[in-house]
Structure 1
């Protein structure tokens, strides 16, 4: 399955909304979108991601570390329950700043 990446920018915040699977075949699409971001705060909305593998998780961690080194902030938004569980099992839930409101809820 392909990964669709929609980009929204508003008041210094860039939100990438991902839909599909985040894995070794699709992670480059997210990385390319991130490479174009100029805003201080990056939000990656995972509410439409049904599957993530170790490549996708590592990429999220690398992006978070890169943003921190630049003095910015990266948030992971609304991961689906299965994705959130994988993140918890590998310990990324404590390393990645998250907003875990359910998809469709206002923040």
Structure 2
């Protein structure tokens, strides 16, 4: 299954919308996007996981790696709108206490770039 990743920025904040399955085969695509993104130095990255059907340990490791790199620079990585299957993985692994998890994408990040 293909993984779709799209990003949008607003005032130093980035929303990364992910759709599909994050697994051993698709995780490198997400990793590459984070590497590109983190080069721009955003202070806050929110991952919109409302379109993610499945995420395995490889995907979680990509998220943890990005979180670590952002924290080293005083930034934050947050997870938004995880579906029940992804939320369960976060809870079982204890990562729901590592990441800030939002029910939906925070409203202040829904403003489009053109209005900025």
In the superposition, the TM-score normalised over structure 2's length comes to: 0.84
Query: Larger helix proportion, structure 1 or 2?
Result: 2
Task: Verify: 1:66 aligned to 2:69, yes or no.
Answer: yes
Distance in 1 of aligned mates of 2:36 and 2:29: 11
Counterpart in the other structure of 1:6 = 6
Counterpart in the other structure of 1:92 = 95
Q: 1:58 and 1:106, CA in 2 relative to 1: closer, same or farther beyond 3 A?
A: closer
Counterpart in the other structure of 2:22 = 22
Q: What residue ranges of structure 2 are gaps of 5+ in the alignment?
A: 108-116
Q: CA deviation at 1:100?
A: 2.1
Q: Report the aligned-residue RMSD.
A: 1.4
* SS of aligned partner of 1:36: helix
CA deviations 1:55-80 (Å, max 9, x no partner) are 01111111111111111111111111
Task: Verify: 1:44 aligned to 2:40, yes or no.
Answer: no
Distance in 2 of aligned mates of 1:96 and 1:35: 19
Higher RCO structure, 1 or 2 (CA under 8 Å, sep 6+): 2
Q: What residue ranges of structure 1 are gaps of 5+ in the alignment?
A: none
Runs of 4+ in structure 1 over 6 Å off: none
Distance in 1 of aligned mates of 2:22 and 2:79: 13
Task: Verify: 1:54 aligned to 2:62, yes or no.
Answer: no
In the superposition, the TM-score normalised over structure 1's length comes to: 0.90
